[in-house]
Amino acid sequence: MPERDFQKAEQLRDRSEYKRALRHYRAALKGFEKSGDLRGMLYSYIAIADTERMLGRYSTALLHYNEAKDLTKTLRKPVLRADALTGAGLCLRGMGAWDEALHLFKEAKRYYLKYDDLEGYAFLLWAEAGAYRYGGEPLKAIELLNEALEINRELGDIESEAYCLNALGGASRVAGLTDRSLKYYQKANEIFTTLKDRFGRAYSFCGIGNALRMKAHYQDALKNFRRALNIYEKIGDIVSSAYTLWSIGQTYTMLDRPRMAEKYYKRAYQHFKKTSDHRGKVYYLIGMAQCAFQTGDERDFKRYLKRALKITEAYEFKLERCHILTMLEPSGDSGKDCYRSLGVKLKFTSLPFNIP
């Protein structure tokens, strides 16, 4: 029975066993298609797309979100249409198309507000915040996340509260608020440990690692990154694995071990290519540029940064653009002015940079 497959898939997804969950969701979809159960098909499409998104399979996830959107029109399910729009936006955000994602989030927001879906609205705020962060506006992201956090606390949704805390940790870090970032991640980790949420714990371990890296506690940072990577690899999350690998590479850069750093940057890049993550490619190029600087290869240093700069301009990654301008001229004003225009408290005066 498709209902049984769907229920089994839900249980597996709750345990972050995404690949196994996906097999059962697909079996459920086939069953619902065979019996002509449009409602079951709709829920299956959304669940399949959500799970594919967690695995970094953005292109196929987008196709299934579109299938779901078509069914929401037939079945007149506007809130589920909003869910599909939000999911599709998260895929675009993950690929670096944060501005396109914001258009979908704006459309979804209208449905959530019209039908008074507070839970959906809070999730939308979390998703929207991530897009603004990717677009180089971490202060706007923090504002939205605080609103989402307040709603989740009112709803008593402790799991969503913890995800907001994780996101606040990330937005605070890139805004230069390192101590605040660490506190958010540590609180999230406490909650996820209590809930036995594997993905959430990994997310918070990586965040704690990055906050510690920014405080120059490099060995403790590496311990947390490895805890996160161990979980991500077990659940098959290549999206999060990629950024964790990059963070390990950046830590080795700060430890003046460019050859070791390069290995991790290249491993991260393999994942960024699979998920078509243009923002991730920028981070890879920035990392490789720092390795080139440390090994005295000025030609490659500039070559990597110029390639990265082109991507930041094409996709309007404002904060990453600031990093590159500062790296090209550490003692100049262009990078400082760039950071100042975004309202972030970051100051770098010499290479290598400890990129937040």
pLDDT of 105-159, one tens digit each? 999 999 999 999 999 999 999 999 999 999 999 999 999 999 999 999 999 999 9
Tell me what the mean pLDDT of segment 273-281 comes to: 97
Phi, psi of 56 (to 5 degrees): 80, 15
Distance, CA of 236 to CA of 287 (rounded, Å): 24
347 residue type, one letter: K
The pLDDT tens digits for 11-53 are 999 999 999 999 999 999 999 999 999 999 999 999 999 999 9
The pLDDT tens digits for 195-237 are 999 999 999 999 999 999 999 999 999 999 999 999 999 999 9
Residues 128/110, Cβ–Cβ less than 8 Å: no
Question: What tokens does 23 get?
Answer: 């097999």
pLDDT of res. 15: 93
Distance, CA of 284 to CA of 250 (rounded, Å): 10
> What residue ranges do the domains of the chain occupy?
1-95, 237-356
Task: Note the CATH number of domain 237-356.
Answer: 1.25.40.10
The mean predicted confidence, pLDDT, of the chain is 97
pLDDT of res. 137: 97
Same fold, 1-95 and 237-356: yes
User: Confidence class of residue 62 from pLDDT cuts 50, 70 and 90?
Assistant: very high
Cis amide bond preceding 258, omega within 30? no
Residues 167/131, Cβ–Cβ less than 8 Å: no
Residues 144/127, Cβ–Cβ less than 8 Å: no
Question: What tokens does 319 get?
Answer: 């904060």
User: Confidence class of residue 333 from pLDDT cuts 50, 70 and 90?
Assistant: confident
- CB atoms < 10 A from the CB of 197, how many? 20
87 residue type, one letter: G
Alpha helices in 255-317 (DSSP H): 258-274, 278-294, 298-315
Residues 238/274, Cβ–Cβ less than 8 Å: yes
The pLDDT tens digits for 73-100 are 999 999 999 999 999 999 999 999 999 9
pLDDT of res. 331: 82
**CATH superfamily, with its number, for domain 1-95:** Tetratricopeptide repeat domain (1.25.40.10)
88 residue type, one letter: A
**Exposed, middle or buried, 10 (CB in 10 Å: 0-12/13-18/19+)?**
middle
User: Confidence class of residue 347 from pLDDT cuts 50, 70 and 90?
Assistant: confident
Coil vs helix vs strand at 221: helix
CA atoms within 13 A on the CB side of 13: 21
The pLDDT tens digits for 66-79 are 999 999 999 999 99
Question: What tokens does 73 get?
Answer: 């029109």
User: Confidence class of residue 348 from pLDDT cuts 50, 70 and 90?
Assistant: confident
- CB atoms < 10 A from the CB of 186, how many? 15
pLDDT of res. 332: 83
Residues in the chain: 356
CA atoms within 13 A on the CB side of 31: 15
Taking 90 as the threshold, does the pLDDT of residue 293 lie above it?
Answer: yes
Distance, CA of 242 to CA of 32 (rounded, Å): 35
